[in-house]
Amino acid sequence: MDLNKLNTFYVLAQMKSYSKCAKKRFVTQSAVSHAIKTLEESLNLTLVEKNRKTFALTSEGKILFKSCQKIFYEVEKTQDLLMKTKKYPELIRMGSTVEFGVSVLLKGMEFFFENHPDIHVDFTLSHSLIQPLLDDELDVIIDCKPHVRPDLETIVLFREEYAVIASPRYVKKNKITKVEDLTRCNIFSQDHELAWWRNFIHALPLEKQVIFDRVTRINHVRGMINAALSNMGVGFVPRYTVLRELEEGSLVELFPELDILNDHINIYLKRRNLALAKFQHLIAHIKEFRLQ
């Protein structure tokens, strides 16, 4: 069995797309099709369903894909061992949400690199992390969105507490003393539909539900913070991102008495990678982080 063609099949089964597979393998779509056809002929089996609008494996293809997961896990483990003998650093491709990456992750990696000079980490900061992880473009991600999948391992890190913030000047100017006062304020949100504010809205009793008429879309937490500092309106952000501003008094937390729902910040990676030493070292280090 040709290992190169088997790898093409493995990537195709992961991507569920000939074009994405070709892009990842740095070949043409016709080359991918030819590799799959040749592999099928050598096995005298049909691996990919034909005449379907969406990509699907046959029952034989599913069996082979499951075996490929074990085969290429062993290949990757062997590559890591060989890299160690040549003193090349092992690579980890890590993804994180933008604000957690900027405010916490990158600031906390110094001692990891000092203690593990044999491990190299590349960082991707993005709001869209799960698909690159599933496509093996990232090895491990830190995300506040829940991802429940049988092939993923979830490691709980923190509860992500939220805070409603504004500058003292804006609060005084708009006479904000109760939740209902927000109806006349400019609200910062990552979307006009206010899905970003769902945890706050769900914490309000029915009699205190408010309608936000003025919503300014800002697609970055740090952008909301700077807008609040500039007296432009009211933001809703993870509390750990504004601890310094709250302590200095440049921002104030509104309605701290509300029991606002929390999200969870978790580490996600493929189950097959959990036993690899480089990931165990990285996870152990990150679990020592504290949201001060």
Q: Would you kindly state where each structural domain of the chain is located, as residue ranges?
A: 3-83, 89-159+264-286, 162-261
Q: Please give the CATH superfamily to which domain 162-261 belongs.
A: Periplasmic binding protein-like II (3.40.190.10)
Residue 292 to residue 68: CA distance in whole angstroms: 43
Pick the CATH number of 89-159+264-286 from 3.40.718.10, 3.40.190.10, 3.90.340.10, 3.20.20.70: 3.40.190.10
The one-character DSSP state at 103 is: I
pLDDT on residue 59: 92
Domains 3-83 and 89-159+264-286 share a fold: no
Domain 3-83 grouped into CATH 1.10.10.10: yes
φ and ψ at 142, to 5 degrees?
Answer: -115, 120
Q: What is the number of H-type helices and E-type strands within the chain?
A: 12, 10
Tokens standing for residue 115: 């203690």
Give yes or no for a contact between 196 and 286, defined as CB atoms under 8 angstroms apart. no
Q: What is the pTM of this model?
A: 0.67
Rounded Cα distance, 10 and 18, in Å: 12
Give the C-alpha separation, 19 to 12, whole Å: 9
Q: Which stretches in the chain have pLDDT values below 70?
A: 83-87, 292
| 8 Å CB contact between 39 and 5 | yes
Which pLDDT score is estimated for 89? 82
Measured distance CA(246)–CA(216) in Å, rounded: 22
